Structure 1
């Protein structure tokens, strides 16, 4: 009998029934992820839904008590039951034990931002289940970060018109930005990004398995800190979705193989986009700033990954020349390993092997600060980290430096109450000038001192920065950090 199906039909049908080898590869991945605490967990989903309900109830009660002197608006919002919208990976169903729960709090305009980030945060901090609460209010998107029970939560705030709270107008429509101030718009953007991504995914279960694998790979290879110029969860999500758009029915092993091969050889800084957006004339005239693909003075987009919702933003604006080089080297390594995994020659453990930062560099800049401050510790750490990131870019621009690598995690010594950051770097073979580095260290110290004065922090803050070779680290670091590193 002649097969009258089209080539496309045969291809699609064929991809719906993976081979036994592909099933085994997928099963091995699920087991490996589970062993590492990754992969979807029904228990973790239930726990986060419970956390959302608890915070929403507490927030609703606080709104009511805060609006007692404004009875008109209080009467209107009493009928509103839900003031919280989940964002991020939770909306995609990718929920692991270590997953952060990003929540957008919708508030009537009568609730001031300073009320939320001071009075509400203080009330929240008094709850028995809340610990390690930190206010990050100086960033473009302010956030209350804390643990509720053992779930890490980020709370964002957007003030909206009452009509959106009541459901008379849809919050999914981009016209909502015309009713918001800039701070609320930037916070709300994450909600629209999550919605846009979810609409683009056709094979959700397969997608989530591949995304969990990418998250574990990024974590173990030291690439999961977007603040430090690496790849955050949302960047990985968009890159993976780009691959899925042209490989809709591929099994997870093929998806990951194509992912690493495609982006290791991508013509950066050509931007990665998964969706073209036409928001209409009204939104084009809005005051919201979108990512501009045209070259800009003093701004270089080394690895632009663009959000699929208005206003479009570059998620990887913190990527530098060196961090892009590090990411691409890791993708090349992963691409080679994936070929052998798909062929049955290697296991998934090879892909997820941990990267040892300290084995890859012989020279480091070591930044140290005391953490026994009773006041303004979070503010001080945020300030110091921001100046460290500036320093890394300056080192990166030195022509004698081949590569700069800020360790994606800091180290706390509980014996000495100190925190350490490490910047590994490689000089060009012809570089012998140490004066350039000494001047940079001196400039960094003066820069931080001036920022301490501007922020009106204590003059007694202790910090230092030194150049150290690998063989010197063991003699200058506390024992608890030495045991963790080596």
Structure 2
């Protein structure tokens, strides 16, 4: 399991605090009493929005992670013995690391657990999607909806365990025995990994680094919870659809925390909207300097670099991951999505300024989007299937291509497409047989010349 989160390094007595990020802070001012009162009001609104787990829900997640790790360790041992691995090496078993919202400490009650299974080299990705899935995972009574996606950009196993959704990645490190302790930040673990393995491992590396690169993890978590809830309610929370997802928002919030290291969460939200309202995209967001090369003796990998890569240069809203090899986490953002994000950030800035002037309140910031009242014309894409497995497959296929449809709709210059990241699920009557499962995507259309 993931180790406890490490706090940012503290300054020694008489020494200035260590600078986090690539440039000095904009302000080191401490919060005033009004900022703390405003933060308390913000947290009350987040509680009302259902952003926090109960103690029982948290304990259930922890038990799921513990059982998954125990199962994976047994699989790793059994697989090693079946291949004639020496018993001493077999005892160096798999380990499970979490990342994403759970690792960052900002998961909602309905969020999935993102985790990575790290194994010694006798375990291969094919074994994970075959024997582990078939003989260990799918045979458990408390596991349901097992859905392996080995062909995905980052191969993933999706399932539920005791009704907790889990997205499980896999990475086989080139070690006969896993080091103890295993520090995933060491570049040597990238040796001889393919692109899928690097992306899988970097999910954990990025999450760990983000926590190390923020000056105060408590304020970071409160601000990140707030911005994620705001983005969900405003219909702009989806990396797949070309808006921004969890890691994008985490890096954006971490950057603002670095610039205002002592600010209260309520202040950070206002500064975030103000900073990104004025930001000159495509100037990238970086929370640590990027490295062109790994540590000496380690395998080099392609690094995001718009100076030498034409594809990188075409990115509209670069939000760069802190771990080597640095990648643009927001490469999916297109012109329609960037325009939408700018509009919502402008609204957020207006409302947070009113809140600071005591002319508004936090609940107004989190009001749901008026998407279905803003336009006269909409494109609706329905994903219909007779059973959950077919529905999941078609949903994933359509979702991954919808941002291309959004871009194509704007090819006539007189039309603007407005994506909406929230979907609507329902059961619809079929011509014959039981009702079908239906998920609907929506794109608003406007004609500025009218």
What is the TM-score with the length of structure 2 in the denominator? 0.85
Alignment counterpart, residue 317 of structure 2, candidates 284, 303, 307:
303
Cα distance, 1:113 vs. partner? 1.4
Assess if the C-alpha contact under 8 Å between 1:41 and 1:95 holds in 2. no
What residue number does 1:23 align with? Answer: 36
Query: Quick check: 1:429 aligned with 2:449?
Result: yes
Q: What is the 5 A alignment of 1:266-345?
A: 266-278=279-291, 280=293, 286=299, 288-294=301-307, 296=310, 300-345=314-359
Q: What is the 5 A alignment of 1:45-84?
A: 45-73=58-86, 75-80=88-93, 83-84=95-96
What residue number does 1:149 align with? Answer: 162
For the residue of structure 1 that corresponds to 2:240, the secondary structure is helix
Taking structure 1 as reference, are residues 18 and 48 closer, same or farther at Cα in structure 2, changes over 3 Å only? farther
The structure whose residues are more often helix, as a share, is 1
Structure 2 spans left out of the alignment, 5+ residues: 1-13, 18-24, 430-434
Q: What is the 5 A alignment of 1:68-217?
A: 68-73=81-86, 75-80=88-93, 83-122=95-134, 123-162=136-175, 165-167=178-180, 170-217=183-230
CA deviation map 1:291-334 (0-9, x unaligned)? 12236269731111000111111111111101111111001001
Cα distance, 1:30 vs. partner? 1.2
For the residue of structure 2 that corresponds to 1:258, the secondary structure is helix
Taking structure 1 as reference, are residues 413 and 118 closer, same or farther at Cα in structure 2, changes over 3 Å only? same
Name the structure, 1 or 2, with higher relative contact order (CA <8 Å, separation 6+): 2
Q: CA RMSD in A?
A: 2.9
Taking structure 1 as reference, are residues 355 and 169 closer, same or farther at Cα in structure 2, changes over 3 Å only? closer
For the residue of structure 2 that corresponds to 1:147, the secondary structure is strand
CA deviation map 1:379-404 (0-9, x unaligned)? 33333333433222211333121233
Taking structure 1 as reference, are residues 92 and 419 closer, same or farther at Cα in structure 2, changes over 3 Å only? closer
For the residue of structure 1 that corresponds to 2:331, the secondary structure is coil
Structure 1 spans left out of the alignment, 5+ residues: 1-5, 431-486
Cα distance, 1:414 vs. partner? 4.3
Alignment counterpart, residue 347 of structure 1, candidates 358, 361, 364:
361
Assess if the C-alpha contact under 8 Å between 1:88 and 1:194 holds in 2. yes
What is the TM-score with the length of structure 1 in the denominator? 0.79
Taking structure 1 as reference, are residues 374 and 154 closer, same or farther at Cα in structure 2, changes over 3 Å only? closer
Aligned equivalents of 1:149 and 1:329: distance in 2? 40
Taking structure 1 as reference, are residues 423 and 298 closer, same or farther at Cα in structure 2, changes over 3 Å only? farther
Q: Tell me the number of residue pairs that the alignment of Structure 1 and Structure 2 aligns.
A: 421
Taking structure 1 as reference, are residues 231 and 74 closer, same or farther at Cα in structure 2, changes over 3 Å only? farther
CA deviation map 1:325-353 (0-9, x unaligned)? 11110010011110111222211110000
What residue number does 1:357 align with? Answer: 371
Task: Give the greater-gyration-radius structure (CA).
Answer: 1
Cα distance, 1:60 vs. partner? 1.4
Cα distance, 1:58 vs. partner? 1.2
Aligned equivalents of 1:75 and 1:398: distance in 2? 66
